[in-house]
A = this chain, B = another copy of it.
Amino acid sequence: MAQEMSDVTNTPVVLHPPTEPRTDATKDRIVRAAAKLFLARSYHSVGVNEICEAAKVKKGSFYHFFESKSDLAIAVIDHHARAMWRMLDEHERAARGPVNKMRATAQVTRTVHEGLVKVFGRVVGCPLGNLALELATTADEAGKHAANVLAEWEARIAGHGRDAEEVGLLAPGTDPDELAHVIIATMQGMILLAKVSNSAVTPIYEAMDRAIDHGVRRI
């Protein structure tokens, strides 16, 4: 690069002119490429260079949009969260009653992981749980951000749980907050086991449905 420079010192040229415009579409391409690479491998094992290559953008563009890899990770988490809230909204709207609205989380989990298996050929983990866990014992703020989205998801389930409690649909002694926590824990634990043993998606949402069954009054 330095040699190229010295060959052209008298000519006002732009070295490596940017081939991409710095638009939202470029930013989105970076986020999607990173989301895919983080899922295929992990946050730590993927570098900014590789993300730029996969997104077909130059490093300058990357740092135009993101201060750091951590900043990108936060955008990746928001990208996953948006997709998830959209699906959850849809399933919850279609569901009749608070118990079925709780079950929407199991349905979304099914849709997400069946989709991921189509792309990656295997269970690759929860897009949020992976990042939350990988960064939990680091100073990286992105880890906390992912954990917060999971907590928000849990709070949403707990809300339906309280609605169910109010109309007498929860099993005696069931605490809606604890139930919501167990549903998310079952999801995360089942996804983890499916990922590490490279096994199927079906047991994940089935176990979530059973966890919900245990919290619901038998009629």
Interface residues of A (CB under 8 A from B): 40-42, 44-45, 122, 124-125, 129-130, 132-134, 136-138, 143, 146-147, 150-151, 178, 181-182, 184-190, 192-193, 195-198, 203, 207, 210, 214
Contact = CB atoms under 8 A, between A and B. Distances in A.
B196 A147 contact: yes
Chain multiplicity (copies): 2
Contacts of A40: 137
B193 A188 contact: yes
Contacts of A132: 192, 196
A186 B184 contact: no
Given A133-B196, A193-B185, A207-B185, A45 B138 contact: yes
A198 B148 CA distance: 12
A214 B182 CA distance: 13
Contacts of A198: 136
A166 B9 CA distance: 86
Contacts of A124: 137
